[in-house]
Amino acid sequence: MKGERNCSVRSGIKMQDIFEKFEFSKRTGAIYEDVLKRVKPNRKREDTATGMPDDKKTPFEDAFEEYADESYIVCEAHAIVYSWLYSEPIFFDNDILVGFPRPFRNIVEHFSFGNCYMHRTDRIKAIYNRLIPMDDNVLDDEGVRRFGGDANAYGYVKGYAWSAGGYQGHTIPSYPKLLGMGVGGVLDQIESYDSKTDPADKKKKDFYKACRIIMEGFSAYITQYADKAAELASKAEDIEKREQLLTIEKTCRSISRGKPKTFLEAAQLMWFFCLWDWVDCIGRFDQYMLPFWTGSDEDKDVLTAIFMKFWEHGVHNMTISGVIPETGEDATNEITYHVLRVMRTLHETHPRMTVRVHEKTPRELMKLVVLMWSEGMSDPTLASDFNVVPSLMGYGVPERDARDYSILGCQEIEIPGKSNFGCEDGFVNLAKIFEYTLFNGRDRYADYKISIDTGNLKDYKTFDDLWNAFVKQIQYLIPIFIDLCNIGVDIRVANVSKLVKSTMTEACIERGLQHDEGGTIYNYGVIETGGHGAVGDSLYALKTLVYDTGKLTLEEVYNALDANFEGYEDIRQELLNAPKYGNDNREADEMSAKVLRMFWSEIRKFKSRRGDVFTGACSLLEGGTYYGKHTWALPDGRFTGSPLGNTIGPRTGSDKNGLTPMLNSVARMPLELGVGGSTSNVLIPTTLMENEEMREKIAATMMTFMKIGGQLAQITTATLEEMKDAQIHPDCHENLIVRVGGFSMKFIEFDKDAQDEFILRYSGMCNA
C-alpha cells in the first residue's frame, strides 16, 4: 500500500489551496454535470430512494420459493444476492467509478426492518410467514398486554410518550477489514470458522452458509460490472471512452476476489459494498482510505468521483479528522481537506459530514469549517473527542477503540466495524411522563388514565414529594418500555435484518452470530430522550415560585394547567419568566441536568437483548415538534401543543441570552451518560461570520464549547429574516439550508409546522 498512516496535510497540499474554491477537473466536472441532471430531492436521498424504477422482477419471491426447504437465513441470503444479480449494471458517460442502487421493487430487505414490501400481493401472502417470520404486531400485542389489555392506553403511550423498539438500524461496517482482506480474504475467514464448527450446530452452520452466499454473490455482482464494461468497451468507437471502460473492467476484475492495491481499486470496492449496505454510514473515510492515497491527480479525481456518489445517493454520515487510535495524535490528512473542499463546492446536504475536534486539531481545519458555515452550509457537524472518548471509556470501551469512534445516522456514536449500539432502540418524551405526574397518572391531553396513581400537582406538599412522584412514574413505565425495545431486537434477529452488515463487522464471523443477536464486540442500547428542558424548567419554576417563595400556590398552578392557561395569563407569565435552562443560569441548568441524570442512570440498570447496558442520547429529529403537539401545558409556562425541542439544547424559544450562554448551559448536561449521541442545534447566522476576525471568534467559541463539556454541535446559519421570507417567497430561497435535530435539509422542503418551529427556535419567543 502507498502512503503513511499518519500522513499530515503538510505532506502534499499547499495551505493556500485549502481555502480556495475547489475546481473540478475536466472529467470530474463532466461527472458533476451528469449528476446534476438526475440527483433526487433531499428527502429521497435521506431515504436512500435513488434507484431506478421498479423493473417488475421478483427476486425475493423467487428465492424463497426456490429454496423453500432451506432455513430462513439461507433463503434470505439467496434473496439478497438475487436482488442484486437481477439488477442490470448501470453505466453513465464519464464514469470513473460504477455502481448504482437496485430498482424500486415491491419487496426488498433493509438493515433496520428486515424484509419490507409495498403491496401485499397474493404471492407474498402465500409465503408471508417465510418472508417475515416476526412482524411489529408482536410488539403492539405485548404493549397492549402490558397495559392490562387496554389498547387505547397503549396507543396513547405509543403515540405521545414513547416509541419503543424503533429504528434500531444504522451501523458502520468494517471498511478496513474489507479493504485489508478483500472479498477472497473474507470468504477464507468464513470458511475457516465454518470448518471448525460442530456439524450438529445447525444454527451456526447456517449462519456461515448465509455469509458465504452473500460474499460469493457480492463477488459475482462485481464481476457483472467487469463483464458489462468489457462488452461496452468492445462496442466503443471513441478511443478515450474505450480506455475508460477497460480501466473499469480491469479494476472490477481485480477486486472481485483480490485485495485492492490502488486508491482507485479501494474506492471502487468500498463503493460497491456501500451500495450493498444501503448507502448507510461510512465511518472514518479519511483514515481507512489513507493507506492507498498517493496524492496524484488521478487519486484526487477518484476521490472527487466517489464523493459525488455519496452526494447523489444520500450517504447518511461520514466522519473525518479526530485522532489516531493507537497514539492519540492528530489524524487530519490530505483526504480530510479534499473532501471538505469538494463539499464546499457542492454546497449540499449529503453526505452528512462530521469533523472530530480535539486538543491538537489544526487551526487551518477549524478555519475551513467555519468558512464553510459562513457561506450558508450546515455541515460539517463538530464532535468532541474531549467528551466522547472518556465517555465511551466510562461505559467500558477500551481507549484504543474509544479513540476510533465515528458518528453515524444523524448524530449517533459508534465504534465503526465493531459495534451495534441499537441506533434508536426507542424514544422517550419525558415531558409526557411529567404530565402523568401532574395529573395522577392521567394523560391530560388524551383525557385518559395511563399510569399509576402518584397524586395530582396540588397533592405534593414538598418539592421532594413532587420529584419522588416523577421518579416513581419513570420507574414504573421504563421497565415496560425497555421490554418493548428488546422485543424490537427480537424482531430484527428473527428477520435477519443486518445479514450484509454481519459479514463485514468484527466478531460476527468469529462468534458465528448475526449482528443483532450480540455478534458485535460492543452492543449497548440507546434511548433517544426528549422533553428534559421543559421538565427541568417546570420543576425549577415550581421550586422557586411555589415551594421556596410561596408566590404561587399549588392549586393556582394546577388549575391554570388544567385550563391550558385559559383565564390564567397572569400565572402563566409568572411561570414563563422564571429562569430557564439555556441562559447560563447555573441553578436552572442543574435542574434539567438532574432530570437527565436520573433518567439516564435509570435506563443504565437495564441491558439490551444484544448484551450491554442502555445509554442515553438526545436528538429527536422532528420528534420534539411531534411530541410537543401531544403534550399538555406545563409549569414552565408552555401552552399545550408547543414544541419541546429536538436536541440536548433548551426548549424551543426559551433561551434568550445568545450563543455563548446557551452553549455554557448545554455543557452542564450529564453528557458522559448521553454517549449514544446528544447533539446541540446551534444558530450562527452568516452575518456573524462576515470577515476573518469574526470567523476566528466563532471557531474559538465552538472549540471552547467542545472542551468544557459539549459533545456534538450541528449548525444552522440561516438568519431569522431569511427563514421568514422563505415561507412567503420559497422560490427565492431554494438553497437555504437549516439543521433539524440530526440532518440538514433545505428550509422550503420542510412542512409549515417544522418551519414554524425553526422560526420560533431562533426568535427568542416563548409563547408558541
pLDDT value, residue 2 = 41
Which of 416-425, 432-441, 574-583 is least confident?
416-425
User: Is residue 12 over pLDDT 70?
Assistant: no
Look up residue 380 and give its three cell numbers.
Answer: 460539517
Could you report the per-residue pLDDT of 341-393, keeping only the tens digit for each?
Answer: 999 999 988 899 999 999 999 999 999 999 999 999 989 999 999 999 999 99
**Taking a C-beta distance cutoff of 8 angstroms, is the pair 251, 264 a contact?**
yes
Domain hosting residue 59, numbered range:
49-132+174-276
Reported confidence tier of residue 159, pLDDT bands at 50, 70, 90? very high
Residue 64 pLDDT greater than 90, yes or no: yes
The residues, ordered by sequence, that sit 6+ positions from 155 with a Cβ below 8 Å of its Cβ are: none
CB within 8 A of 5, min separation 6: which ones? Answer: 290, 291, 324
Is residue 396 domain-resident?
A: no
662: Cα within 13 Å, side-chain hemisphere: 24
Q: Which of 19-23, 102-106, 716-720 has the lowest mean pLDDT?
A: 716-720
- The answer to whether residue 369 sits within a structural domain is no
How high is the pLDDT of residue 464? 98
Cell of 53: 424504477
Q: Average pLDDT for residues 178-187, to the nearest whole number?
A: 98
> Is residue 186 one of the residues assigned to a domain?
yes
pLDDT at residue 10, as a whole number: 39
Q: Say how many domains are in the chain.
A: 1
Distance CA 683, CA 687 (A): 11
Residues 237-252 have a mean pLDDT of 97
C-alpha dihedral sign at 59, 61, 66, 69: positive
User: Which pLDDT does position 740 carry in this prediction?
Assistant: 62
Q: Give backbone dihedrals phi and psi of 703, rounded to 5 degrees, phi first.
A: -65, -40
Q: How far apart are CA 73 and CA 408, in angstroms?
A: 27
Burial of 297 (0-12, 13-18, 19+ CB in 10 A): exposed
Spacing of C-alpha 473 from chain mean position: 29
Kindly indicate the confidence band of residue 7, based on its pLDDT and cuts at 50, 70 and 90. Answer: very low
For 673, half-sphere exposure in the C-beta direction (CA atoms, 13 angstrom radius) is 18
- pLDDT given for residue 767 in this prediction: 33
Which of the four pLDDT bands, split at 50, 70 and 90, describes residue 621?
confident
317 or 719, which is more confident? 317
Of 159-173, 313-327, 727-741, the range with the lowest mean pLDDT is 727-741
88 lies in some domain: yes
Is the model's pLDDT at 13 over the cut of 90? no
Lowest pLDDT segment from 303-307, 462-466, 761-765: 761-765
Tens digit of pLDDT for each residue in 247-281? 999 999 999 999 999 999 999 999 999 999 999 99
Residue with cell 415561507: 727
Average pLDDT over residues 480-491: 97
**pLDDT at residue 673, as a whole number:** 97
Mean pLDDT taken over the chain? 93
- Give the model's pLDDT for residue 357: 98
Q: pTM for this structure? A: 0.93
Q: What is the pLDDT of residue 217?
A: 98
Question: Cβ-count burial of 200 within 10 angstroms (0-12 exposed, 13-18 middle, 19+ buried)?
Answer: exposed
The answer as to whether 216 is a domain residue is yes
Rounded Cα distance, 571 and 592, in Å: 22
Residue 423: DSSP 8-state: S
Q: Is the pLDDT of residue 624 over 60?
A: yes
Give the pLDDT band of residue 480 (cuts 50, 70, 90). very high
Peptide bond before 380: cis, by omega within 30 degrees of 0? yes
Q: Within a domain: residue 168?
A: no
% of the chain surpassing 90 pLDDT: 84
Is residue 240 over pLDDT 50? yes
Residue 344 is assigned to a structural domain of this protein: no
Q: Which of 35-44, 163-172, 283-292, 740-749 has the highest mean pLDDT?
A: 283-292
pLDDT at 580 over 90: yes
User: Is residue 2, in this structure, part of any structural domain at all?
Assistant: no
pLDDT single digits (tens) 558-577: 999 999 999 999 999 999 99
